[in-house]
Amino acid sequence: MGNKYFMKAGMYMLKCKADYEADIAKSRDNRMKWWRDARFGMFIHYGLYSQLGRNEWAMALENYDIKEYERLAETFKPKEGTIRKWAELAKKAGMKYMVLTTRHHEGFSLWDSKVNPYNSVNYGPKRDLVKEFVDACREFDLKIGFYSSLMDWHHEDSWKCAFDREARIRFTDYIKELNRELMTNYGKIDILWYDVPRPMESPEGWNSLELNQMVRELQPHIIINDRSLLPEDFGTPEEHLTPGEKDWEACMTFNGISWGYIDSEQAKPYSYTPQQILRMIQKVTAFGGNLLLNVGPKPDGTIPEEVIEPLTKVGIWLQENGKAVYGQKDKIGNTNVCGICNVTSEDKILYVWDIIWPSNNSLVIAGICNAQLKEVKLLKDDTPVDFIQDGHRIILKNLPDTNPDQSVGIPVFQLEFDKKPKCNRASYYPQLNMGQTFL
Nearer to ligand GLC among residue 171 and residue 259 (C-beta): 259
Q: Which residues of 211-222 are buried (b: 16+ CB within 10 A; e: fewer)?
A: bbbbbbeebeeb
On whether the CB atoms of residues 434 and 408 are closer than 8 A, the answer is no
From the list 348, 317, 355, the residue with the least C-alpha distance to 330 is 348
Does residue 251 bind ligand GLC (CB under 6 A)? yes
Region for 237 from its dihedrals, namely left if φ exceeds 0, alpha if ψ lies in -120 to 50, beta otherwise: beta
Binding mask 37-76 toward ligand GLC (x if CB under 6 A, else -) reads --------x----------xx-------------------
Nearer to ligand GLC, 244 or 327 (CB): 244
CB closer to ligand GLC, 260 vs 274? 260
In the complex with ligand GLC, the residue whose CB is nearer, 66 or 196, is: 196
Neighbour count for residue 362 (Cβ, 10 Å)? 14
Among 35, 171, 254, 259, the residue binding ligand GLC under the rule CB under 6 A is 259
Count residues near ligand GLC (CB under 6 A). 8
The C-alpha atoms of residue 197 and residue 148 are separated, in whole angstroms, by: 10
Nearest distance from C-beta of residue 45 to ligand GLC, angstroms: 6
Instruction: Kindly tell me which residue out of 238, 268, 323, 395 binds ligand GLC, with binding defined by CB under 6 A.
Output: 238
Smallest distance, ligand GLC to C-beta of residue 251, A: 5
What is the number of other CB atoms lying within 10 angstroms of the CB of residue 34? 14
Which lies closer to ligand GLC via its Cβ, residue 129 or residue 371? 129
Asked whether the beta carbons of 15 and 3 are under 8 A apart, the reply is no
Q: What is the DSSP letter of 168?
A: H
* String of contacts with ligand GLC for each residue 305-334, x by CB under 6 A: ------------------------------
Q: Does 157 bind ligand GLC (CB under 6 A)?
A: no
- Rounded least distance, CB 195 to ligand GLC, Å: 5
Question: 3-state DSSP call for residue 174?
Answer: helix
Q: Which is nearer to ligand GLC, 217 or 238 (CB)?
A: 238
Residue 195 within binding range of ligand GLC, rule CB under 6 A: yes
d(CA 168, CA 176): 12
Contact 259, 53 (CB under 8 A): no
Residue ranges that bind ligand GLC, judged by CB under 6 A: 45, 56-57, 195-196, 238, 251, 259
